[in-house]
Structure 1
Amino acid sequence: GIHGVGMTRPDLVNALRAQDGLYAVRVADGQGVKWQVPGALWRMHVAATERDEVVQAIAAPSTRWVTLTVTEKGYTPALAQLLLEGLRQRQQAGLPGITLASCDNLQGNGHQLQALVKAAIATPDTRPQDANLLSWIDTRCAFPCSMVDRIVPAATTDVLAAASLALGLRDDASLSTEGFWEWVIEDRFADPADAALLQSAGVRVTADVHSYEEAKLRMLNGSHSAMALIGAVTGRPFIASCIGEPHIRRFVHRLMGREVAPHLSRSDWADYRDALIARFGNPYLKHSVHQIATDSSQKIPQRWPPSVLGQIAQGAALEHHALAAAVFLRYTLGVDEHGQAYALNDPQADSLMAIGAAQRSEPEACVRALLAREDLWGSALSDHPAWTVRVTHWHQQVLQHGVDAAIQQLLQQEP
């Protein structure tokens, strides 16, 4: 079974404890609706308040894997120390190593997790026992990279009500998801026999996770970020509300096909793009644009700059990404085109809103200030003249005519 760990928040853990780890999942798409009740979750703890229990779980002889979905901002020294304590106890007890698998949207997630854990040990005054632990981690533990692709929006009252109706009981932890799923994981495990077990369940085990990883980050996640910002500024609440508009659907289709796909190594990108368009339109998902726009400053650097730099290197157009960046700047005003205010849920919210505050009076200066941020765009793209010119142009169109009109203008000028 699965021992579930919440890093800081007890609310979900408490809800699951009250239901003995059981919860309903609605799987809904164009093929129909069905409900499932997974039964694998058998213990739950919160790392912030029940640290010893979590460390002991990592160190337990029965533990084979640790999987992590901590998002881009979750790779912290605190996480490394938590894992390290459990691994140290395993080593001292003479137990086998384990697989630690990152299952989030960070590119090269396994490599980054391994580096994070090892950095927590490797200090200038590394003690002999720590050197032994480093060696044990390198030789006995595995940190595979992986790509997990399935859209699971945050729970809503609508889903809770649907679960109550379908199951005839109250479920405070029910979720809704789509029928599609894809899990690609690197063939690197503490126990090599795990590869065959995963493949028997439909998981793709490969030496080349990168091609799937970059396709998901730049096509699915990159499009998600663009639509989320468009939806937030135009007042459309869900991804399905956005992709249901013909001009936005065409914009997203072209963003993926013209500016992302030329720089991917995934050979079946066209089929993947078309499947994404269909998935985005799933009316059951109710995937909130503001949920996806959360932490945009942490997500955009992974999702947009590689495609923009690829277009620049080929002398190709980058209009779709430039318009998306312009909408991102407009988003920092914290109010949509109907006058409805919203909060920026982002670790850089204060600095982003400070940049965006003067965009109506000094729009070009605000564009330059946003694009100068290397933490967002990287050193190769920040302040790039061609990029700055196009983002400035589309920002002017967004401010003067609105996001929808700007998208329509782009579609007309580039048939």
Structure 2
Amino acid sequence: MRALSQTVLDDRAVPPSLHLPDYPRSALVPGVLHLGLGAFHRAHQAVVFDALLQAGDTRWGVLGVAMRSTELADALARQDGLYTLQIASAEGRRWQLVGAVLDTCVAAREPDRVTAAIAAPATRWLTLTVTEKAYGPVLAAQLVAGLAARHAAGLGGLTIASCDNLSGNGGKLRQLCLDTAAALDTVLAQWIESHCAFPDSMVDRIVPAATAQHREDAARMTGLDDACALGTEAFWEWVIERHFVDPADGAALAAAGVQVVEDVRPFEEAKLRMLNGSHTAIALMGAVMGLPTVADCVANADIRWFVHHLMTDIVMPQLQRPGLPAYRDALLARFANPDLRHKVHQIASDSSLKIPLRWLPTLQTRLAAGADVEPLAFGAAVWMRYLLAEDEQGQPYAISDPAGERLQAIARRHRGDAPATVAALLRQPAIWGEALLANPRWVSSVGFWLERIQALGLGAALAQFKAGHATHLNTEHGNT
């Protein structure tokens, strides 16, 4: 079996159904430097840049930079940057050969090459997918070294677009670069501030880790050996602030499907509270019920109903993103996609850190307004049951959470005593804030649903929750 390469592509030794990069790759010079070469970039930004190249805009070829690991960068280099992407949806699977990555390197191994690439005349954009936590001094030093070389060469500034899952990511990266540059050279810091653009952005696409199965599927489809094959879902989003060194880039990106907006925050909040918040609720229920994946969970009619109700009636009223019903429906379709094999225990990890970001803002707003918080109380009760670290079939599981050992000890100490469990686990200000324990409506509701889960099991308690909601609606509308 031939290995995937540019020669194979030139020979057209590929199936006609495979979507190919139909542009002169060998003549291109990278216009984009991407830091954080990995599965997500290859299934997201690189696909957008591939579309721009297909449309004839030759400025979007990518130099992909792995930060430390050499394996993927070297494997891609052997394939001339080419790789096969499987895109799976309810309609089936389609395959694309992505050609936007023209070359690769490794920052830890070749820092001078990264510096030179930032300072290259052809480089216009720098994109990043390097962290979900915070930017650090090593990254700042690398960026500022490249920008200093660029400034010294008398070149223009760059659009530096963070694609990391951090709220206000562009502003945070900008401040880090300015602070680092100012400590070295105030003139350089002023040049960065006035000549470079750091737009905020929000990105979304579920990209599971590449597996041997992806490679086997790609070989079966293409007849080629692709060591870098990967898979993803059909859905994708890239929402970016309209703030570029070249203002015309906004129209170019929009033509490729990117949403260019004045303010990214409404989109960030919707993703955090609807996608991520629902994911946490689904994962906790799945872990307790012994359901392995998100798709297995939403195949359960009551869980699917619960998630729809949570998003529609509890979360969406606080949000400003346009088109919320369509966004909700797209999320439910994504959750149901069996090809993603999204493990519930992976999503349930670090729940003590996720709940304050994903649930608490909605909860606090609704409690202050006297609005319904019952689905969030049910979710909190499920989290407390999850902390026992065994499912309803008696199978133990590990809790991956920095506070997991302590929280598990609390849950087990008060096992079977719902009021004591609720009092102890709500008395965690880092998770629930300071005021919730003093709210009798909230405490009572969480305690009620934890007692129901303990007495009936989670599935039966959820069915009771659903039936109670229907009864409430009938009463509210005068039906009997």
Going from structure 1 to structure 2, the CA distance change for 1:120 and 1:368 (only over 3 Å counts) comes to farther
1:66 paired with 2:126, answer yes
2:338 corresponds, among 254, 271, 283, to 283
Per-residue displacement from partner, 1:313-357 (whole Å, max 9, x unpaired)? 2211212223323333444444433344444444x2xx2222222
Letter in structure 2 aligned against 1:270: P
Q: How does 1:20-59 map to 2 (within 5 A)?
A: 20-59=80-119
Residue deviations 1:394-415, cap 9 Å, x none?
3444444433233223222222
**Residues 205-247 of structure 1: per-residue CA shift (max 9 Å, x gap):** 1113222222122111221222122223322222111111101
Distance, in Å, in 2 between the alignment partners of 1:331 and 1:46 is 41
Amino acid at match of 2:135: Y
**Given residue 327 of structure 2, which amino acid in structure 1 is its aligned partner?**
Y
TM-superposition CA deviations, 1:163-220 (whole Å, max 9, x none) = 2221223333322222222222110012212112112212221113222222122111
For 1:402, the equivalent position in structure 2 comes to 457
Residues 320 and 77 of structure 1: is their aligned pair in 2 closer, same or farther, counting only changes over 3 Å? farther
Normalised by the length of structure 2, the TM-score is 0.76
Say if 2:167 is the partner of 1:112. Answer: no
**Structure 1 residues 83 and 219: CA distance shift in structure 2, 3 A:** same
Aligned to 2:467: 412
Residue 267 of structure 2 corresponds to residue 212 of structure 1: yes
Correspondence 1:48-197 to 2 at 5 A? 48-121=108-181, 126=183, 129=185, 131-197=186-252
Distance in 1 (alpha carbons) for counterparts of 2:178 and 2:447? 43
Q: 3-state SS of the aligned residue for 1:45?
A: strand
Alignment CA distance shift 1:65-1:361 (3 Å): same
Residue identity in the other structure for 1:77 = P
Take 2:434 and 2:152, find their aligned partners in 1: how far apart are those partners?
Answer: 44
**How far apart are residue 251 of structure 1 and its match?**
0.6
Cα distance change of structure 1 residues 133 and 30 upon mapping to structure 2, 3 Å threshold: same
* Residue 352 (structure 1) aligns with: 404
Greater mean deviation of Cα atoms: 135-144 or 325-334: 325-334
Residue 317, structure 1, aligned to residue 364, structure 2: no
Match of 2:73 in 1: 13
- Cα distance, 1:87–1:168 mapped onto 2, change above 3 Å: same
Count of paired positions: 407
Percent identity among equivalent residues? 50
Mean Cα displacement is larger for which, 405-414 or 237-246?
405-414
Partner of 2:63: 3
Hey, what's the Cα distance between the residues in 2 that align with 1:383 and 1:171? 58
Is the contact made by 2:387 and 2:411 (CA closer than 8 Å) also made in structure 1? Answer: no
Using the TM superposition, give the Cα deviation of residue 374 of structure 1 relative to its aligned residue in structure 2, in angstroms: 4.5
**What is the CA distance between 1:14 and its match in structure 2?**
4.1
Structural mapping, 1:292-371, within 5 Å: 292-346=347-401, 348=402, 351-362=403-414, 367-368=422-423, 370-371=425-426
Counterpart-to-counterpart distance in 1, 2:123 and 2:264: 25
Residue 228 of structure 1 aligns with an amino acid whose one-letter code is A
Paired amino acid for 1:191 = D
Quote the Cα distance in structure 2 between the aligned partners of 1:342 and 1:136: 53
Larger Rg, first or second structure (1 or 2): 2
Compared CA separation, residues 156 and 393, structure 1 to 2 (3 A): farther
CA distance in 1, matches of 2:188, 2:162: 21
Question: What secondary structure is seen at the aligned counterpart in 1 of 2:341?
Answer: coil
Deviation at 1:381? Answer: 5.7
Q: Distance in 1 between matches of 2:111 and 2:133?
A: 20
Cα gap change, 1:294 to 1:41, in 2 (>3 Å):
farther
8 Å Cα contact 1:114/1:143 also seen in 2:
yes
TM-score (norm 1): 0.87
CA distance in 1, matches of 2:233, 2:93: 9
Contact 1:355 1:369 (8 Å CA) reproduced: no
d(CA) in 1 for partners of 2:393 and 2:284? 15
Following the alignment from structure 2 to structure 1, what is the Cα–Cα distance between the partners of residues 407 and 349?
Answer: 18
What is the letter of the counterpart of residue 204 of structure 2?
Answer: D
Contact 1:159–1:176 under 8 Å retained in 2: yes
Moved more, 288-297 or 210-219: 288-297
Question: RMSD of the TM alignment (CA)?
Answer: 2.7
Helix, strand or coil: the match of 2:133?
helix
Three-state SS of the structure 2 residue aligned to 1:143 is: coil
Secondary structure of the 2:94 match is: strand
Asked if the contact 2:388–2:412 (Cα under 8 Å) also holds between the matched residues in 1, the reply is: no
- Relative distance call for 1:397 and 1:63 in structure 2 (3 A) is farther
Offset at 1:74?
Answer: 4.2
Q: Which amino acid aligns with 1:360?
A: R
Residue 33 of structure 1: how far off its partner (Å): 1.8
Q: Is the 8 A contact 1:150 1:180 kept in 2?
A: yes
Are the structure 2 counterparts of residues 334 and 315 from structure 1 closer, same or farther at C-alpha, using a change threshold of 3 Å? same
Q: What displacement does 1:27 show?
A: 1.3
- Rounded Cα–Cα distance in structure 2 between residues aligned with 1:377 and 1:109: 25
